[in-house]
Structure 1
Amino acid sequence: MPAVHVPDQFNIASYFIDRNLELGRGKNIAVHEDGRRLNYEQLSEMVNRCGNGLRSLGLEAENRVLMAMPDSAEFVAVFFGAAKIGAVPVPVNPASKPEDLLYFLNDSGARAFLVQEDIWPQIAPLLPRAPELRHVVVLPAVPAQQKNISVETPKGVRYSFHSLSDLSKGAPGNLEPAATSKDDIAFFLYTSGSTGGPKGAVHLQHDMLISTELFSRSVLEFSEKDIAFSASKLFFAYGLGNGSYFPFSVGAGTVYCPLRPKPETILDYIEAFRPTLFFSVPTLYAAMLQVPDKKDLSSIRYGVSAGEALPAEIYTRFQERFGVSILDGIGSTEMLHIFISNRPGDIRPGSSGKLVPGYQAKIVDDSGKEMPPGEIGNLWISGDSAAAFYWRKHERTKQTMVGDWLVTGDKYYIDPDGYFCYCGRADDMLRCSGQWVSPVEVENVIVSHPAVLESAVVGAEDDDGLTKPKAYVVLKQGARAPAPDELRAFLKEKLTSHKVPRWFEFVGELPKTATGKIQRFKLRNP
């Protein structure tokens, strides 16, 4: 695949927002929300007003803007408005604990903090401990309802306090983009913390365009006629592409749901807005299968899954029930989006698919030596959408970003047909009876039992101090818990004996990150 050309002067707001007006797409519907639709002309004006509003606060190039905001047109307006003036948007999960939001404020050194009003009372008392903060801007938890915020202006504080509607309402609707370079800092995205504390991955202006051309355009074949709906939220690297710059790159539409992604809510949104591309994570795909009501998903040409490996059993059940094939893939916050994926006409359930053209990958041992096909090793990936470094984390940057290569921390092997098969995180792999055991392989077989919804497998020591697999199992709604011997007999038909769990523990739910990844380390150390 030819290299993606990015002009030396490049600004993401200019390309993904303004360009749609230049190409005559101004009347295309850009954003679909419950109770509101906005075309590209209206969205562009919102971006400009937010950018001018932020500039009126004195924000300058490379000042960080922390965003704890719901999925909405306002999220897009703040994100691209900040980028348009050369500031650096830093979206984070609005459901984060107050202490975590304080960490994000101080780690990023944000000068401005955009926060939805329902979490303001919890975070406000902590802000005296954020010395670099200068401005707070509050907005409703469901912006499309366009209600006034009910938060009182705090007294005796050293930061200015505004509502987003007031800040942007009086600002001009025109804004020239900052003359940013393609290699200037554009935005931060914090890792989900599945392997430790969150790290701010610093992305440059060109990264979005690379990811768009390599995956969105070439694999998904996004077009102006598409409507995207991402159950994964915009603060998440995966959701940011799905729900903003992928559809914006072609003048397509996107659906925003500011509510928690419960399966019933998501299915109702699909019926109401009729998206053509749906993006989610394996946990939600499995949960959607548990909703008893018959739902019409016929508008969806493909589902896309990432964040955790999609079990073949979930793929098959979903395709049989809804008639929708799911393209499973692997991406990362550091690489911005998906770099290995199944694709239309080339799907192997249970695998992550094949390398997306434009990226490079290799499977290596712990010394960095390449492994032969079929051998389990460490996945390293290379591509121009990679983050430049971790913010204020020099040692972690050196450990993870080795020359042109990103050390993903994932264990993989390549099967004889060239499909990449996920075995788990490097620190999740088990050594049992002198042999490696992939927790993902065992989990996928457990999930194929008709009573099981989800499973997570970790290592536990027996009375002799030897490591054996232990399975935590979540049952389907109303299902009877199978006896351990029954479950063990079921697994022995499909797994070699050293992979069959010694113990089973039935639980109501599994610990997960905000982006849906199972946190097996919490099960190893409950």
Structure 2
Amino acid sequence: MSTYNAVTWLLDRNVDEGRGAKLAFTDTVSELTYGELQRQSRRAANLLRRLGVRREERVAMIMLDTVDFPIVFLGAIRAGVVPVPLNTLLTADQYAYVLSDSRARVLFVSEALYPVVKDVVGHLPDLECVVVAGKNAFGHKLLAEELAKESDSFATVETHAEEPAFWLYSSGSTGMPKGVRHVHSNLQATADTYAKQVLGIKENDVCLSAAKLFFAYGLGNALTFPMSVGATTVLNSERPTPALMFALLSKYNPTIFYGAPTLFAAMLNDEASKNERAGTRLRICTSAGEALPESVGLAWKARFGVDILDGIGSTELLHIFLSNSPSDIKYGTSGRPVPGYKVRLVSDDGADVPDGEIGELLVEAPSAGEGYWNQRAKSRHTFQGHWTRTGDKYVRDADGRYTFCGRADDMFKVSGIWVSPFEVESALITHPAVLEAAVVPEADPEGLLKPKAYVVLRAGSQTDNLYEALKEHVKQKIGPWKYPRWIDVVDSLPKTATGKIQRYKLREGEAKH
């Protein structure tokens, strides 16, 4: 069997092809060229060897988006060790679960995030060492000091294309996260398909991603895709507020901006940023996490003159597999299958459904994970031979475009007809008073399900006769049976760290009034 290590293709190839002095990453404080990243990743590999971490063992990463992240992530893969980047917004209990579940031998943690896990790390039998990225080691090891002790010479471990390279934990919106195991070849698979054939990414691109590196979406945006062509990435360690993103767009003038529907809407509606621009070189934006409402895409294009490519991806499939493309955009849809991916829509009994009918989306993907760690039943349900079940409900039109209808567990019927929460939400936010909306089923006095809406209003909006106005607005937009029978005005909607609305929490009454 021939050998293949993802770092050889992602990083070493760039140096071999003469891009050693090219800027790879900047985090507003530090910079890394491709040559420096190669040397530092070798030091990280030597550090892991000194700490006694063996091939295929796991190391956890609770790290902000700084230049330290690619050093550790790529250094581990170079050593044949499996890095496990973790969501930086989890609670101590969630970290305790994931660190125990992954049996991580070493934890790399950013200084600012250490306080969350300080009471956890001493109670995990498999965790032998903590390495802190920053200036305060909290009694542990400092990453910069440890790297400085190591040689920048390291013989990259001869791994195989189908060998586990890294894990990503799913967002866990309805329970504890699940560890998705990805192999070495999966990174290149996403670059050869979406990045190359949809984005058309080039060496002179400068990338800015609001989604963080620990997300599958952010990892592709800010690491895999730019490194696949020797481009440059701007990393942001802070929360992506409208003001901050506009500041970064102005300062670094990127060519590609990767966002999410919630952020695009917030940037469009932020009063303090109403005169901000998106830079002079921006050529394309992308959106994932949830479907992009048509009104948001059109408003963004009208204001900034740049299209947003809406698509859908997942942790299980590593990046976007269904997307609009620069030459083929229809706002309100997720577009068509990314070249290299095949999709099917199936009914509850597994039969393919015709155009115009709602079905669950199944994907045949070159980047599919090989399963969940320690979750055999869930692995069998999700990863079914060549096909991966997404849990997303879609409808395909006669032109072959796919439109999102909702998660399988969010859909419900009204008068015997399927209602998509997303469709009702998209109609609601086209009303000038509504900033955000979420729709869930609620039983009426007869026990029949009807739509109930939770809305976040724009600043200064009037609430007089709001219910009647929104009801009629939805009726006119999408049909008389889909309007919300109840509307609650709330301060915010519960969301995952990826920006997905947690409708199950609304069904359980967890809304902020």
Which TM-score band applies after superposition, normalised by the shorter structure?
over 0.9
Counterpart position of 2:431: 449
Counterpart position of 2:166: 187
For 1:430 and 1:196, how far apart are their aligned partners in 2? Answer: 21
Say whether residues 1:175 and 2:157 are aligned partners: no
Which residue identity lines up with residue 34 of structure 1 in the other structure?
Answer: T
Q: TM-score, normalised by structure 2?
A: 0.97
1:493, distance to aligned residue in structure 2 (A): 1.2
Among 302, 310, 319, the residue aligned to 2:292: 310
Which residue identity lines up with residue 10 of structure 1 in the other structure?
Answer: Y
Gaps of 5+ in 1: 1-6, 141-147, 154-160
Among 483, 486, 502, the residue aligned to 1:503: 486
Say whether residues 1:352 and 2:312 are aligned partners: no
SS of the counterpart of 1:478? Answer: coil
Counterpart position of 2:101: 107
Higher mean alpha-carbon deviation, 344-353 vs 166-175, is at 166-175
Counterpart position of 2:81: 87
Among 469, 494, 497, the residue aligned to 1:514: 497
Which residue identity lines up with residue 320 of structure 2 in the other structure?
Answer: I
Counterpart position of 1:296: 277
Which residue identity lines up with residue 39 of structure 2 in the other structure?
Answer: E
Counterpart position of 2:405: 423
For this pair of structures, how many residues does the alignment match?
505
Higher mean alpha-carbon deviation, 441-450 vs 167-176, is at 167-176
SS of the counterpart of 2:237? Answer: coil
- The Cα RMSD (Å) is 1.2
Among 117, 138, 162, the residue aligned to 1:152: 138
SS of the counterpart of 2:362? Answer: strand
For 1:56 and 1:71, how far apart are their aligned partners in 2? Answer: 25
Q: Would you say the 8 A contact 1:32–1:273 is kept in 2?
A: no
In the TM superposition, structure 1's runs of 4+ consecutive aligned residues that sit over 6 Å from their partners are none
Counterpart position of 2:210: 231
Q: Would you say the 8 A contact 2:57–2:105 is kept in 1?
A: yes
For 2:116 and 2:225, how far apart are their aligned partners in 1? Answer: 34
Q: Would you say the 8 A contact 1:361–1:382 is kept in 2?
A: yes
For 1:121 and 1:197, how far apart are their aligned partners in 2? Answer: 21
1:28, distance to aligned residue in structure 2 (A): 1.2
1:472-511 alpha-carbon deviations (Å, 9 max, x no partner): 1011233223520111112121122210000011111111
SS of the counterpart of 1:31? Answer: strand
Counterpart position of 1:391: 373
**Identity value in percent:** 44
Q: What pairs up with 1:35-114 in 2 under 5 angstroms?
A: 35-114=29-108
Distance 1:272 1:397, change over 3 A: same
Which residue identity lines up with residue 251 of structure 2 in the other structure?
Answer: A
1:119, distance to aligned residue in structure 2 (A): 2.8
Q: TM-score, normalised by structure 1?
A: 0.94
Counterpart position of 1:382: 364
Among 235, 255, 258, the residue aligned to 2:234: 255
Say whether residues 1:242 and 2:194 are aligned partners: no
Higher mean alpha-carbon deviation, 93-102 vs 180-189, is at 93-102
1:175, distance to aligned residue in structure 2 (A): 1.7
For 1:38 and 1:118, how far apart are their aligned partners in 2? Answer: 21
1:57, distance to aligned residue in structure 2 (A): 0.5
For 1:201 and 1:8, how far apart are their aligned partners in 2? Answer: 24
1:170, distance to aligned residue in structure 2 (A): 1.2
Counterpart position of 1:156: none
For 1:248 and 1:264, how far apart are their aligned partners in 2? Answer: 28
Q: What pairs up with 1:321-336 in 2 under 5 angstroms?
A: 321-336=303-318
